[in-house]
Structure formats: structure tokens, C-alpha cells
Structure 1
Amino acid sequence: MAKPKPKYYVVWKGKETGIFESWDKCRIQIDGFAGAKYKSFKTKQAAESAFNKSPKDFIGKNTFESELTSEQLGKIGKPILESLSVDAAFDGDVMEYKGVYTKTRLELFKMGPFEGATNNIGEFLAIVHALALLKKQGNGPPTPKRGALYTQVSPLRGDKGGLPVYSDSITAIHWVKTHKANTKLKATSENKSLFYLIQRAEKWLKENKYPNRLLKWETKAWGENPADFGRK
């Protein structure tokens, strides 16, 4: 039988405040104390960080807690917020994809559903869609445009190479870099329009250069991709 993982309990308001390494020790501080405020965390690092912040930022909220070590998190670093993030959702053989501005989660585009697809194809199309949109609009951070799904951009650039694009699919990133969606999916009457989009995306990649970096979204360190459909 697997040994249960330890939890760390933050008590912001109780007989004594602090971080406690067992429920029994935590309970001593909150039992009989009116208005006690406390919450458990998966790692000591998360507990220490939370203890120095307001309990209202954590109590009753499903906040992400990375289970990676401090050393692992340090090597990965933090995501670049001045960027675009893309993701695909796949249910059975129906796929859709979208892209958002990472910093604000502003939705920039959403496509689908497409039948007879795969998740990696969705990620591939989403990355190319993001690159084409950035090139068309100047590679700067977006601002909302009333009445339109797409956005205008300010003249500011994300960096010297334009805004990076995040995807959590290594396969799709590789396909984009090689200008080829190397899928084993077969073309059928139901996914004819999808294969047209794939061919159009491959053609765009062969005919256009882009300065943007394609980066892997590190889910284990940062939580779900900002473009995630939230269906897991």
C-alpha cells in the first residue's frame, strides 16, 4: 500500500499561527478557536509562500500547487507572460483549439469543433494560427477590439523576436519547426476540411519566416496552460 504523501498545514488565525506538519498539530491550534483560518498544502514551499500572504487568496479556492522541488522549479523558471498560449481539446475524435494572450488570458481565436481529428493536429494548427496572427498584427501584445474575435496590437513588441508562443505539445512544436504535420491520421469525407487546414498551415510555414520562439508550457511547474479548455 502506497504511503500517503505528507501535507503541510498553514494556520493564519488560531491559538498559534504558523506551518504545521500534521493534521493533529494543526487541529490543536484551531479547535475551539472562533474564526480560525487554515488550509493544507502539498509542499512545504507552497505552505511557506501562502503563510506570508492573505488567507483570502487561498481559502475556498482551488489554487495550483506544484509538487516539483525548489531546485527543479528554479531550473524551469517562470513563464513569459508577454506571450501567446495555445491549446487543443479532444473528445473522442472531435477536436477544437484556441489561443490566448498569456498575461490576461484574453481569447484571441477559437476554432472547431472538427471531426475525425487528433489532439496533436489541433495543437499544430493552433501554433500556426498564432504565428500567422502575430505576423499579421506586428508581434506585439494584443488589446481588445470591440465586435471582433481577433485583436489589434500596440506598436510595442514583446521582445526583439516577437512574442513567444507556448504549447504543451512537444510533438506539435516539432511539426511546426519541420513544416510538416507528421500525422498518421487518414483523410476521410468527414475530415476533408481539416486536412485542407493542415495543408494550408504547412504551406504558410514553408512560405513565411517568423521570429517567435516556440516554447513548451511546463504544466508540472506552472499548472494548466492558460488556453486550457478546463475539461480534464
Structure 2
Amino acid sequence: MISLNEGIAVDAAHSMKNRKTEFQGVDLKTGKTLFYTDLGNQTINIGEFLAIVEAVKYIIDHDFQPKVIFSDSTTAISWFKNKRTASGKRNAKLMKAEIYLRAMAYWVDEIEIVKWDNRQWGEIPADFDRK
């Protein structure tokens, strides 16, 4: 049974005005921000995908329990499951993320990814709250 109070929630934000894409991950149990990255000018899907990959790295590096990541991005979840993006925008961070997911597949495949249901559960706790 999945608990909405444990795991890592991730989200990304993109500002057209500031030409800035950023993402973060939040520990659902403590509310603490575990990581934050400013990607510069990318797309929201790239930000969401890289947020998931960063959460995977965090779980593996810190033996974080439970091994559950929540994301509200269907596209990023799909890219994660395929261990490959469908982005036309190629860059080093995306390529490294794809390679990491494939190289670490034994550990990556132990991690559960859950689609956060904004309608039912409200805004994902990692949301940047800028709407």
C-alpha cells in the first residue's frame, strides 16, 4: 500500500519570462527539500524527467526508504520507465541521465514511481507554488 506521507515528491517549474527551468525533490515525511537544481533554459518535461532521475540517485546514494518517487508528470514518468527521453532537445544532462538509468538498472528497477493525482490529493508537495 502506497502512503502519501512517505517517499520523495518531485516537481519542476519553467519561467518563459526568466528563461529558467528548475526542479526540486521533497521528503514527504519531513517536508525537507532534498535537492534543488537550476537548469537554465530547458523545457518543463526535461525538468520533470531530470527531477525523477535526481530522486533515483538520492534514493540509491542514501539508501532512502521507502523507494518511492511521486511525480505529476505523465511524460517524465514515461521517459523514466523507458530509460530514454523523447525530447528533441539533446544536451549532456539528458544523455547522462539516460546512461545512468540504464547502467544502474538493477537498482533503478527497485524504485517505484507513482503518478501524483493533483485532483484527488491536491498540489504535489514539491510544487513551486507560482501558478
Q: Please state which structure has a larger fraction of its residues in helix.
A: 2
How far the C-alpha of 1:139 sits from its partner, in A, is 2.6
* 1:114 maps onto 2:71 in alignment: no
1:68-217 map, 5 Å: 79-92=3-16, 93-115=19-41, 117-140=42-65, 158=66, 163-185=67-89, 187=90, 195-209=91-105, 210=108, 211-217=110-116
* Deviation string, structure 1 residues 90-116 (Cα, Å, up to 9, x no partner): 11142000001012221000000411x
Conserved in 2, the CA contact under 8 Å of 1:85 and 1:166?
yes
Distance in 2, matches of 1:213 and 1:168, equals 14
After TM superposition, the score normalised by the length of structure 1 is 0.52
Q: Secondary structure at the match of 1:183?
A: coil
Q: Secondary structure at the match of 1:96?
A: strand
* Deviation string, structure 1 residues 35-82 (Cα, Å, up to 9, x no partner): xxxxxxxxxxxxxxxxxxxxxxxxxxxxxxxxxxxxxxxxxx985311
Consecutive unaligned residues in structure 2, runs of 5 or more: none
Task: Flag the 1:180–1:78 CA change in 2: closer, same or farther, 3 A.
Answer: closer
Conserved in 1, the CA contact under 8 Å of 2:39 and 2:47?
no
Larger Rg: 1
How many percent identity over aligned positions? 36
Give every structure 1 segment of 4 or more consecutive aligned residues whose post-TM-superposition deviation is greater than 2 Å.
77-80
Consecutive unaligned residues in structure 1, runs of 5 or more: 1-76, 141-157, 188-194
After TM superposition, the score normalised by the length of structure 2 is 0.89
What RMSD, in angstroms, separates the aligned Cα atoms of the two structures? 1.6
Q: More relative contact order in 1 or in 2 (CA 8 Å, sep 6+)?
A: 2
